[in-house]
Amino acid sequence: MQRRHFFLAPAALASGAWVGAASAQTALSCPPVTPPVVTPLAGINVLAEIKALRINSGPVAGGFEIAPNGRLNWYFANLGLLSIVRLLSVAELETLILPYLKLYLSRLLPNQSIDDVNLPYGRANPSVITTVASDSDDAYAATFLSLATRYVRASGNWTWWEANKALIKQVAYRNLALTAKPSGLTSVFQSPRSQSNSIGYLMDNCEGYRGLRDLAALLRSRSELVDANYYDNLASNAAQGIVQQTFKSAAKAFTASDASPLPQSVFYPGTSCQIYAQAFGLVELAPLFDYGWAYLNQQSPGWETGRYDPYPWAILGQVAALRGQTTQARTQLAHIEQLFSTNRALVTINELGFYQRARSLLAGQPEV
């Protein structure tokens, strides 16, 4: 899986950007849950920048560009939007997040996977779109589950949840249950795409674990215990599979997938993948977090300065902040802010999301 390889839209090329590519519910069935107070921080105004990426007309109105004049990549959009849910008022949740969730569900393929959307003319003409196959099924579904459940908890819009939960469960089942291998890891693709790539990627499976846990927790809170136990069991199996299939005790590090015999020293995916278990809260793997962090820093020293990849990989800074490594986290934030001012297109919507999470942690605020 090559998450960083995108087809460039003509409008993006013309502008010099280097990027890959229903109305709100008014009746809520119960009062909204009051989210923790999270104050927007100085630096990049993530909330404003993500709002500015919203597609306001055309067949994918309500979606979000990956960067100005970029494609609609659902996986990156999910990750970016996750970071702002708790920064939004209930009214904003209904005008920003809910239309996106509705759009996502409306564009599902018959097997509940989804295609990305190119906008060949960018913002000049969003009515013209083409589609391109996603680079995974499992990670797209998993991050959607996390976003949908976070939205419902923040908004209290159980009317929407009850109306759509059967389809949302199908997204989980088709992409994260039927794709599960005997090892517990999920294949990156459903059939028939799995015939050419059935690899279980470490990054995807960490995201899959989190999506499954989030879904199970919400179902448990609604007393749907059979389904909650089912999805919790899938998450536990994924965690066990990660340990058995990707962690190499001799190297004290993770491999990038179940197809990799040894950990790699290349930044992507070899060292950048090391912190995903901690980033996505795989508590069962907590004893291994230090090993992954050490391997990243041994093999890719100075990662916080952006020397290894054009994109900043703000998820690394989030984990640095989680671990109390404030110097590295702040150094990366400064790099991202500089990159944002010189090459906006490289600070994509998902990068903005992890940047926001790191800033919140460093400020002693709840992780958004």
pLDDT at 2: 53
Question: From CA 169, how far away is CA 186, in angstroms rounded?
Answer: 16
Q: What average pLDDT does range 121-133 have in this prediction? A: 96
Give the residue with greater pLDDT, 98 vs 28.
98
* Side-chain-facing half-sphere of 308: CA atoms under 13 Å: 20
Q: Residue 365: is its pLDDT beyond 90?
A: no
Q: Residue 25: is its pLDDT beyond 80?
A: no
Close Cβ partners of 263 (under 8 Å, ≥ 6 residues apart): 248, 251, 253, 254, 255, 256, 270, 274, 295
Question: pTM, whole model, 2 decimals?
Answer: 0.90
Q: Residue 309: is its pLDDT beyond 90?
A: yes
Among 215, 209, 197, CA closest to 238: 209
Q: Residue 38: is its pLDDT beyond 60?
A: no
Q: Residue 28: is its pLDDT beyond 80?
A: no
In the chain, pLDDT over 70 holds for what percent of residues? 88
Q: What average pLDDT does range 202-228 have in this prediction? A: 98
Among 139, 5, 8, CA closest to 74: 139
Chain centre distance of CA 365: 21
User: In the structure, what pLDDT confidence band is assigned to residue 41 with cuts at 50, 70 and 90?
Assistant: low
Convert the pLDDT of each residue in 69-113 to its tens digit. Answer: 999 999 999 999 999 999 999 999 999 999 999 999 999 999 999
User: In the structure, what pLDDT confidence band is assigned to residue 269 with cuts at 50, 70 and 90?
Assistant: very high
Question: From CA 312, how far away is CA 328, in angstroms rounded?
Answer: 13
pLDDT at 196: 84
Q: Tokens 């998820």 label which residue?
A: 315
Q: Residue 9: is its pLDDT beyond 50?
A: no
Convert the pLDDT of each residue in 156-207 to its tens digit. Answer: 999 999 999 999 999 999 999 999 999 999 999 998 888 888 999 999 999 9
Characterize 276-287 residue by residue with b for buried, 16 or more Cβ atoms within 10 angstroms of its Cβ, and e for exposed.
bbbbbebeebee
Domains of the chain and CATH, by start: 10-362 (1.50.10.20)
User: In the structure, what pLDDT confidence band is assigned to residue 367 with cuts at 50, 70 and 90?
Assistant: confident
Convert the pLDDT of each residue in 313-351 to its tens digit. Answer: 999 999 999 999 999 999 999 999 999 999 999 999 999
